[in-house]
Structure 1
Amino acid sequence: MSVFVEDGGSGAPTVVLLHGQGASAVVWDGVVAALPGYRCVAVDLPGHGRSGRLPGYPPDAYAAAIAPALPAGRLTLVGHSLGGMAALALADPALGLDVDAVVVLAMKVTWTEEEAGRRAERARRPPDHFPERAFALRRFARLAGLPGTTGDDRLGSGVAPDGAGWRLSHDPATAADPPVPPGELRALAGRVVAPLHLACGDRDPMVGPADLALLGPPVTTLPGAGHNVHIEQPRVVAKLVRAAAPAPRPAA
């Protein structure tokens, strides 16, 4: 299957940006703008945006699909929410990628039974159909946490034609399986050899520092930030990336 990436800038290391559930690479625009001097590769995860779909979406399937689409050389992996899980899987030394650091933002580690039930129910619903593209763009912007307007062409990565109308490009089946258990996520984190950095906002209604700390390393709490910290405070996230990643150097 195909994985779509937006590749901008030059130099090393490459910062790989992995979005959360229902979003696309467009959510990283502010962070990319705040990282001059770095090569930034923003990925549409499988089952999202302009990428193809998978028959199933466990962590290793995300990693196996994304890895061939990444450039060679040193990589700093940055993942938000679902993208954090994909980052942990990509950093497994068994994949052979040259990973300098991993930054995981606001990844949900524990789920209540009610939360898991709502997730499964959403996955069973047929995709919404929109008679006009503007309606689909508005829904994508809301689900992705973007403040953009229906006239923003960048939002087009989240919608697709659907017969006489439009639908979201996100595959509902990405949430069909139960959430990955905390022990499995901790095991993924335990296989990461590169420095692992964890962070979440102190106003995040979905993820708290104690939840994220189950992965092992200390958690940086970001004041005034909610779940979509990369959209709300892109310069703060860029600062985290610069602190985690080696200093950029010009491409050879």
Structure 2
Amino acid sequence: MTLKVSDLVGGYSQIPVLKNISFEVNPHELVGLIGLNGAGKSTTIKHIIGLLEPYSGKVTIDGQTLQEDPQVYKAKLAYIPETPILYDELTLKEHLELTIMAYDLDYKEAWKKAEDLLKMFRLDKKLDWFPNNFSKGMKQKVMIISAFMTNADIYIIDEPFYGLDPLAIKKLLDLIEKAKDNGAAILMSTHILSTAQEVCDRFVMINQGKVEAEGNLKALQQKIGSNNASLSDIYFKITQGENEHE
């Protein structure tokens, strides 16, 4: 399934943060949503998952908007937020059962997938723990497990690496690669450009609420006329050039 953002204008107040944002994410593809803090990455994601409503433009999954059928739209999405969102009164096991109910998953199949993920992230002995016993990294792992046990068609991942140790980052990237191979479309927001350069198929570069460039690394290198430029070099070249004209 294809995620498409079309001429999206939106934000939090009368003055729009996003200014005619357009891009798409296709099956079998990991797209990096690239930008510095405040560029508009998280605002874009909040529109995609339905926390914000566009002033104009639209977001569709295979041509269908959230407004047309919220339940079907959201069932196709799995979201890993930058800041883990857990309920203090629920154990890890209860969080996973809540995910099963929310996505109407087959209980046995979902638990088998969850058990594999729990072992992968070394949380299989923590099912009776409450969130206040977890470190930030452990909370982030709960978000990752909850997302990937759904077998969603589209994954939205917002700055996922904070608090994760190198082994957990490797496991997350392996899960992303497997989901992509299985046909998922994945959008990952990050400003850790070195990692994005290694793992993403394409990039959407956002600066001050606008898409400044889009394409794979080779296309972006050609755009700035440097075949050896890193993603970081490209981003700063493009955004600094834009800022100089303002």
In our comparison, the structure showing a higher alpha carbon Rg is 2
Provide the TM-score with structure 1 as the length reference: 0.30
> More strand by proportion, 1 or 2?
2
